[in-house]
Structure 1
Amino acid sequence: MEFTIGGRLEVRMTADDVGKRVSVRQTVEGGGARAKFTDTVGVLTSWDNGVLSITSRSGESVRIAESSLVAGKVVPATPARRRGPRASFEELTRVSARAWQPAESEALGDWRLRASSGFTRRANSVLPLGDPGVPLDEALRRVRAWYEERGLPAYVQTGTGAEGAQERLCAQLEGYGWRREVSAEMRVAALAPLGDMAAEVSRVRLARSADDGWLSRYQRVGTPGHPPGAHVLKVLGSGPSVWFASVPGDGADEAPAAIGRCVVDGRWAGFMAVEVAPDRRRQGLATTVTAALARRALDEGAAAAWLQVETDNEPARALYDGMGFTLHHRYHHFRSASA
């Protein structure tokens, strides 16, 4: 890794480079001739209050004090592969969880209890990766109590078509009387072809946060005169590198014609909340939003895409079939019989 200009090390990047792929060197021990260094390559996801946050291709987030920087520069993104990605159930589940983080969470062994005042099941359910540290019946009792304290129904999110432990947990939950309420598909695709889709991406506005216009189109919270709560904004803003896309409506005061959200996390780009105004459907706007977000994610070094779609949403499934997304596994939300 080379940072020198005429034999000198330099920091050749600023906070304006947030969202770009960078390479930095920092001191980790000592000083002067005996100083030791470490190098980090990844997407610069923030630079606030003298601290940089860089997300590597593995999804790991590294925080670096500005005062420890010796050198730094923006580097080109690696060429994106065009064949479909391979990933384990656990990798994809953890990536998707980082892209939709709850307002509140608590560990139960290796399980993660998540709550966000009822905003989406994903942010209000248990993520059971690993051992809860207690017998299953005791774990489920604690889960029910935790959600009851918050006035919420108890849900457990688990998968099928994935790993044996998840399949067994589904059967065990049914044995304890938990009911499967909602099922969805986790789909994956190579990212580069999404960015290559023919679309008028110049129409798309990209931003780091969801403004009032974007929120007015988002069907889960788009109620006029009722702004979303802090828990909603926290979930929507969560993730290593978050982007919001919108296609303006015809009038200055109209809600966007289409919106979307993308979270870049190492090699992965997750697509969520792609919505189009009812009177603007079948005009290619969902493709336009997806292509614009995909190009932004490619610029940050991502190479693979994922999304989640409920199994009964036939129009969306057909759209994603056409974009090249294929089924990786299914996941389900089981609700406690006593909830």
Structure 2
Amino acid sequence: MSGVSTRDIGHRVVVRHRLEGGQATDVIGVLQSYDEQTLEVRHADSTPYRIQRAAVVAAKPIPPMPLRRVDVEQLFLTTALGRPAVETQYVGEWLLRASGGWTGRANSVLPAGDPGLAFSDAAKQAEAFYLERGLPPLALVRLGTPEADAFSEVGWTDARPEESDTLVLHTTLDHVNAQPAYEVLVSDQPDAQWYDAAFEGPVPAAAPPVMEGAPRTAFASVELDGRLVAVGRGSMTGHWLGVDAVRVDPAYRRRGLATALLQGLARWAGPLGGRRTYLEVVEQNAGALAAYIGIGYVEAYRYRYLTKR
């Protein structure tokens, strides 16, 4: 079996092997294990195929699956559905979100689609929505779009000029569904320990309804030395896996724990129909950004928050 060895574990391979009836078939996926008797290939949908080496006709490593062009408009909406706010209203197709002030995403207007009225009037309705709830008016706008320019034209300005852009990254699931280096526990409900690890200090009142509000969610964790030291959240929207709330205890950073969480959530999402994955990271978080790019994520778009003062 030339061309495949233990060094290829974690990488995509194609394996041609014979079934019991004698016919040959190919399996393409990530090589998960390789020993004297068997090898295991994990397909893009996370289905594992254990193959006897004696049945292998040929095998070789292949390049990672190329990324298809992402539908940015669809992804923009998908990110909102993956982490729904406590309260939502619509102005035409615009989504107004409020969650007691916890996180910008859950307390901002998502100007996607047609608001159904003049832009200035739609912006005024959004402003009134937040002022009625004692919240600062916020709009999450993709940079370089007509919506970003239109908000500026009606007096909205950068809400957080001291912060860097937020990047939305994406990749295909088979780039990140390799075997994690740590045991990753995945549950459909977070417990008190998960929240304690996810937050430094008290858990905001709006956090549980926001983080548990999506139709299909998963809460991943890694336990070391008798306690949770890394946690992350996953949500499924169509074929998209969204990953957020990744937090690693400072004493355990730079050990690959964040990557392990991503891989564990990818393996959860594959059997549910997951094919692609996205996450968000602020540009100034250079360490996290480098780690995500290193395992195959690329930039889809970037955004900032605008406000009306």
C-alpha distance in 2, partners of 1:143/1:326? 32
User: 1:137 pairs with 92, 101, 120, which one?
Assistant: 120
C-alpha distance in 2, partners of 1:116/1:79? 35
Q: Which residue of 2 is the match for residue 245 of structure 1?
A: 220
Question: Could you tell me whether the CA contact under 8 Å between 1:85 and 1:188 is conserved in 2?
Answer: no
Within the alignment, does 1:297 sit opposite 2:269 as a pair?
Answer: yes
C-alpha distance in 2, partners of 1:260/1:126? 25
Within the alignment, does 1:232 sit opposite 2:216 as a pair?
Answer: no
Q: Which residue of 1 is the match for residue 281 of structure 2?
A: 309
The residue type paired with residue 285 of structure 1 is: L
How is 1:109-258 mapped onto 2 (pairs within 5 angstroms)? Answer: 109-160=92-143, 167-180=145-158, 181=160, 183-196=165-178, 198-201=179-182, 203-219=183-199, 222-223=200-201, 226-229=202-205, 231-251=206-226, 254=227, 256-258=228-230
Question: Could you tell me whether the CA contact under 8 Å between 2:243 and 2:279 is conserved in 1?
Answer: yes
Within the alignment, does 1:263 sit opposite 2:260 as a pair?
Answer: no
Give the drift of 1:78: 5.3
Q: Structure 1, residues 120-165: CA drift from partner, whole Å, max 9, x if none?
A: 100100011122222222222221111111110001111135xxxx
CA RMSD across the alignment = 2.1
User: 1:328 pairs with 291, 297, 300, which one?
Assistant: 300
Question: Could you tell me whether the CA contact under 8 Å between 1:258 and 1:274 is conserved in 2?
Answer: yes
What is the DSSP-based 3-state SS (H/G/I as helix, E as strand, rest coil) of the residue aligned with 1:283? coil
Q: 1:304 to 1:85 in 2, by over 3 A?
A: farther
The residue type paired with residue 223 of structure 2 is: P
What is the DSSP-based 3-state SS (H/G/I as helix, E as strand, rest coil) of the residue aligned with 1:192? helix
User: 2:258 pairs with 277, 286, 310, which one?
Assistant: 286
Q: Identity over aligned residues, as a percent?
A: 32
How is 1:34-183 mapped onto 2 (pairs within 5 angstroms)? Answer: 82-160=65-143, 167-180=145-158, 181=160, 183=165
What is the DSSP-based 3-state SS (H/G/I as helix, E as strand, rest coil) of the residue aligned with 1:101? coil
Q: Structure 1, residues 200-235: CA drift from partner, whole Å, max 9, x if none?
A: 34x22111112111111213xx42xx4442x32111
C-alpha distance in 2, partners of 1:96/1:207? 21
Moved more, 168-177 or 152-161: 168-177
The residue type paired with residue 175 of structure 2 is: P
Q: 1:242 to 1:149 in 2, by over 3 A?
A: same
The residue type paired with residue 187 of structure 1 is: L
Give the drift of 1:241: 1.7
Number of aligned residues: 247
What is the DSSP-based 3-state SS (H/G/I as helix, E as strand, rest coil) of the residue aligned with 1:329? strand
C-alpha distance in 2, partners of 1:78/1:272? 21
Question: Could you tell me whether the CA contact under 8 Å between 2:46 and 2:271 is conserved in 1?
Answer: no
Task: Give TM-score, length-normalised by structure 1.
Answer: 0.68
Question: Could you tell me whether the CA contact under 8 Å between 2:130 and 2:136 is conserved in 1?
Answer: yes
Give the drift of 1:193: 2.1
Task: Give TM-score, length-normalised by structure 2.
Answer: 0.75
Moved more, 294-303 or 82-91: 82-91
Gaps of 5+ in 2: 1-42, 48-63
Q: 1:217 to 1:79 in 2, by over 3 A?
A: closer
What is the DSSP-based 3-state SS (H/G/I as helix, E as strand, rest coil) of the residue aligned with 1:173? helix
Question: Could you tell me whether the CA contact under 8 Å between 1:98 and 1:240 is conserved in 2?
Answer: no
What is the DSSP-based 3-state SS (H/G/I as helix, E as strand, rest coil) of the residue aligned with 2:207? helix
